[in-house]
Amino acid sequence: MSGAIKWQWNFTKNCRVDIMDRKFMHEALKLAYEAAQAGEIPVGAVIVKDGEIIAEGKNMRETKQNALSHAEIEAINNACRKLGSWRLDECEIYVTLEPCPMCAGAIINSRIKTLIFGAYDQKSGSIDSVVNLCDYPYNHKVEVYGGICEDECLKVLQDFFKNLRN
Ligand SMILES: [Zn+2]
């Protein structure tokens, strides 16, 4: 459809809302739901290159009993394996929750081009909420969009914690 608006600004969060962003974030959300079913805090991530998903990850901290097994780290591991390279400079990562400091660092170190996240994390979000690591003068600058499908990304977390209490 020529002339159609491909993306628009979400003025409350000052971020883009792209049709493809929604599509890929929904794929990340599916992984978050899978994580919830396994008793994990539901966070999902996908890595996209040339408009296609090349790697997926979901939070597996409890399953693996490994503090490093966040969705983003799992996805980055899978992407590096798939591409045979530690450099993910032509890739975008979609994650349902604002990355923690470890994952923000991994995203910078893997040279990912763009980070798109859903819900903000007031407790350990390190892209906006607690600190913004992407704003420091590291040797790689990540382009960041937050608040994509925020309500849905928040809901999967809220539902998970509500179920835990019941
Ligand atoms: Zn993390």
Give the C-alpha distances (Å, rounded to integers) separating 136 from 75, 95, 125, 126. 24, 21, 15, 11
- State whether residue 50 is helix, strand or coil: coil
Enter the tokens of residue 7. 């993306």
- Ion ligand 1 residues within 5 Å by Cβ: 70, 100, 102-103
Q: What are the residue numbers of the active site?
A: 72
Q: What is the pLDDT of residues 109-121, one digit of tens each?
A: 999 999 999 999 9
Convert the pLDDT of each residue in 12-67 to its tens digit.
444 556 778 889 999 999 999 999 999 999 999 999 999 999 999 999 999 999 99
DSSP 97-133: E---HHHHHHHHHTT-SEEEEEE--TTT-TTTTS--G
**pLDDT higher than 70, residue 10:** no
